[in-house]
A and B are shown apart, each in its own frame.
Chain A
Amino acid sequence: MNEKNDWPLWEVFIRSRSGLNHKHVGSLHAADADMAIENARDVYTRRNEGISIWVVESKYVIASNPGDEESLFDPADNKIYRHPTFYELPDEVKHM
């Protein structure tokens, strides 16, 4: 049980149909990028779940710090002028 290393961990993103964003679906282990794509195909698209795959070695994912959640995201709360409902239009204008 003295094996040196696990195969590296990869994060997998799948585009389920054209027009949609790639979405994170999980992770897996693979020795290299080609294998990661193939493993992702075998593991995460067994039921036609995808038409395109991205893999990124997990160590390269930079995540925001959960502790900064409030300072990063709460300020957007008070910028209601970014949302269309902030603006009042006459009822006659049905769609804008």
Chain B
Amino acid sequence: MRAYTSYEPLTEYVLRCADNTLVLGHRISEWCGHGPILEQDIALTNMALDLLGQSRMYLKYAAELLGHEETEDSVAFLRDAMQFRNSLLVEQPNGDFAHTIVRSLIFDSFHYFFSEQLIRSKDQQLADIAAKSLKEITYHRKFSSEWSIRLGDGTEESNRRMQTAIDDLWRYKGELLTPDEIDNEMKEKGIGVDLNLIAPSVDNYLSQVLSRANLQLPQDEFMQKGGKQGLHSEHLGYILAELQFMQRAYPGLNW
């Protein structure tokens, strides 16, 4: 499936972490100035800042692994879509607030159990980054869970919007929890997380939140995949057009 640029397995793995947090941070940062109420504008921006902060740690590590003259900025701003390794979920548009919350709920549930395991990685840098991130991720999961419950159990309209968002985004959950050859290799080396191990915890957590929110848990039918191997939806190209605009328009300068 990886027909495009391929990196060393560890680099692939670090880029997945870097790009998940970068792209989700980018998406959430789009809310800044446009939130549903001032207090939530501030809260959303905190999430974006946390995610971008986490991404920077992973990006720097990826730059180190890539060698040459790579930096966090060259890794973030000078790769094309097919070289990005984020999951499809995080590149989905913000949509209404319900879509944003559900996208975060699914990602945060995964990210929490993932990072909790990654702390035990034999790769010290990954373990350190995960340890530094876990407190933030714990808070994110609390935030997206509470909002899911609040909106699911709020008004008829909010319940309907939440159910639509879940039905729209559920298809992107599978990729997060389904190991591919890179995941397997990293797991066997004691570096990566055993996705089969965390999948039941993630599913169980999500089903508890949805049940408290009066929302229907969708069937795990067809799941979209490809993002973490570099095969993305149409959305990523537009994200990169913005994210990378300056570095592409004015190559090689300091800002």
- Contact surface of A with B, Cβ cutoff 8 Å: 7, 28-31, 34-35, 38-39, 42-43, 46
- Contact surface of B with A, Cβ cutoff 8 Å: 37-39, 42-43, 46, 143, 146, 150
Shortest B143–chain A CB gap in Å is 7
A43 to B143, CA, bound (A): 15
Which residues of B lie under 8 Å from residue A30 when comparing CB positions? 39
Shortest B8–chain A CB gap in Å is 38
Which residues of B lie under 8 Å from residue A35 when comparing CB positions? 39, 146, 150
Other than the given A28-B39, A38-B146, 7 more pairs (CB < 8 A) read A38-B43, A38-B143, A39-B39, A39-B43, A42-B39, A42-B43, A43-B39
Which residues of A lie under 8 Å from residue B43 when comparing CB positions? 38-39, 42
With contact pairs A34-B146, A38-B143 given, residues A29 and B46 touching in the complex (Cβ less than 8 Å): no
Contact B46 A7 (CB under 8 A): no
Contact A42 B42 (CB under 8 A): yes
- Can you identify 12 A-B contacts, CB atoms within 8 angstroms? A28-B39, A29-B38, A31-B150, A34-B146, A35-B150, A38-B43, A38-B146, A39-B39, A39-B42, A39-B43, A42-B39, A42-B42
With contact pairs A7-B37, A29-B37 given, residues A43 and B42 touching in the complex (Cβ less than 8 Å): yes
Which residues of B lie under 8 Å from residue A38 when comparing CB positions? 43, 143, 146
Q: Which residue of B lies closest to A34 (CB)?
A: B146
Shortest A92–chain B CB gap in Å is 56
Contact B146 A29 (CB under 8 A): no
**Among A29, A39, A42, A46: residue with most chain B CB under 10 A:** A42
Which residues of B lie under 8 Å from residue A7 when comparing CB positions? 37
A21 to B37, CA, bound (A): 30
Q: Which residue of B lies closest to A29 (CB)?
A: B39
Q: Which residue of B lies closest to A6 (CB)?
A: B37
Q: Which residue of B lies closest to A40 (CB)?
A: B39
Q: Which residue of B lies closest to A7 (CB)?
A: B37
Q: Which residue of A lies closest to B46 (CB)?
A: A42
A7 to B38, CA, bound (A): 11
Shortest A9–chain B CB gap in Å is 11
Which residues of A lie under 8 Å from residue B37 when comparing CB positions? 7, 29
Q: Which residue of A lies closest to B45 (CB)?
A: A42
A31 to B38, CA, bound (A): 13
